[in-house]
Amino acid sequence: MPLFFVGIIAWFVSFFTEKGAALAFRLGIIVLYLVVILAFIALLVSGSVSLLDGISVSVPTEVTRVWGWFMPDNAASCLIAIITSRFVRFTFDMKLQIALMKARTTAGS
């Protein structure tokens, strides 16, 4: 009887190690993609900041002073919130369109 349990335990261990190895490989690839994407985003942000710093140096002080008359102090935060919400909405719409296309292809076949 104990040999039977040893076989079952060995089967469970081999099953979970095979699944775990496949999962670890997939997670490694996902982490690699995330790191590359985040590095690209960080590069874009740092490039944009340095570009904007260069632009602000070349803008005359009168223009920046007049800009402050019309734009509030939290204008950058508000614009970032608006752009982010539009991006999230666009992503949601695209996911919805993909789901609808999948539903149509499954219903048609």
Q: What is the pLDDT of residue 107?
A: 82
Residues in the chain: 109
At residue 109, does pLDDT exceed 70?
no
**pLDDT number for residue 3:** 65
Alpha carbons 25 and 109: distance in angstroms, whole number: 34
- pLDDT confidence band for 56 (50 / 70 / 90): low
C-alpha torsion sign, points 87, 89, 91, 94 = negative
pLDDT value of position 2: 65
Is the model's pLDDT at 87 over the cut of 90? yes
Say if residue 107 is exposed, middle or buried (CB neighbours under 10 Å; 0-12, 13-18, 19+): exposed
Give the pLDDT band of residue 84 (cuts 50, 70, 90): very high
User: How many helices (H) and strands (E) are present in the chain, helices listed first?
Assistant: 3, 0
Q: Which two tokens stand for residue 59?
A: 């803008």
